[in-house]
Amino acid sequence: MPDQLLARVEACYQQAERFFTRSFARPSVSLRLRGLKAGVAHLQENHLRFNAQLYRENRVHFLQQTVAHEVAHLIAHQLYGASIRPHGPQWQAIMTRVYGLPAERCHHYAVKRPQRVHYLYRCACPDGQFPFTARRHALVLEGRRYLCRRCRTALTFSGECNNTTD
């Protein structure tokens, strides 16, 4: 776990404790989040998960904004309970009044989508070529059959194609 990330989480908690003149239980923290989200606060578990790739690529803003954003969720939960809206007025007040940051709901980091492998299937038609996702290909391997709508023949595997991004 990067020291800067943990130090920023701790700094956010100390700032909230000074503001509210009370202590807050510290969360567990991990960098085991992938995909589009920069961070997630698990309220019941008092746990923060951050996206390691987005942290590496946007370190300064991530430490300033994203860490405070997720800590604010846990602080709001400890103060007001589970009945508040995730980005409601209580959370917004913590972001603006406690941390002096904009109460932005979403990040604006560039997220690189992974290149996906497609599996090509063919039928008897001259131009009958169909790219299958990994999930659909797995279903075929489990015994599912797909038919061409035009020629009504079973689609058969003809090879992998990994030059697409969807």
- Helix 3-20 crosses helix 67-80 at what angle (to 10 degrees)? 40
Q: Which helix (H) or strand (E) holds 159?
A: strand 156-164
Which of the residues are catalytic? 70
From CA 147, how far away is CA 118, in angstroms rounded?
18
Q: Is 49 helix (H, G, I), strand (E, B) or coil?
A: strand
Q: Cα 56 to the chain's mean position, in Å?
A: 15
From CA 39, how far away is CA 67, in angstroms rounded?
8
State the alpha helices, DSSP H only, in 24-152: 52-57, 59-61, 67-80, 89-93, 134-141
**Residues across the chain:** 166
